[in-house]
Amino acid sequence: MNAQSMPMTVRPEDERATLSEVLRGHGVGPTHQRIEIARALFSRMTHLSADQVLAAVNQRHAETSKATVYNTLKLFVEKGLVREVIVDPTKVFYDPNTSPHHHFYDVETGEITDIDGDRISILGLPALPEGKVAAGIDLIIRVRGAA
């Protein structure tokens, strides 16, 4: 089971256990803090910045430090649980949807919306530079309110 296949609704008493399994399945030892951070991301299935994750976690009950949120988000990226979305020059967003997809980014509101990967084909994708491998492909369509 991976993050994408996690049921959208689970009985509250099962939620922690389910999240623990998701973490373990990605080679991440489950701790209170990591479970809370995973819940913040996966229960919303939306793009959150580090400070939004921190706020969401601490609003609930669990005191979690800034350092742990940053450590954990970096770990989740390494382990493939979430994906970094770099569209806003001021902060990184974390996307719990790790399937191939692209992004609309509203430069005025900061809102990020997914574009399913299979709705787009990219033809003539150039050969990667010598000795390099792909680490991610993201088509970013910046939009703003009509004039």
Partner DNA sequence: GGTGAAGTTAGACAGAGTCCAATTCTTATC
Partner DNA sequence: GATAAGAATTGGACTCTGTCTAACTTCACC
Q: Rule CB under 7 A: which residues touch DNA?
A: 28-34, 49-51, 63-68, 70-72, 74, 89-92
- Quote the least distance from Cβ 91 to a copy of itself, whole Å: 8
Identify what 136 binds: DNA, a copy of itself, none; CB under 5 to 8 Å per kind. a copy of itself
**What phi, psi does 35 have (nearest 5°)?**
-65, -40
Among residues 12, 13, 61, 146, the one that binds a copy of itself under rule CB under 8 A = 146
Other Cβ atoms within 10 Å of 147 Cβ, number: 3
Pair 77, 38: CB distance under 8 Å: no
Binding mask 56-95 toward a copy of itself (x if CB under 8 A, else -) reads ----------------------------x-xxxx-xx---
95 to 134, contacts with a copy of itself by CB under 8 A? 104, 106-107, 113, 115, 119-126, 128-129, 131-134
Which token pair is 55? Answer: 């706020």
CA distances from 131 to 32, 53, 128, 134 (A): 41, 36, 8, 10
DSSP state, 79?
T
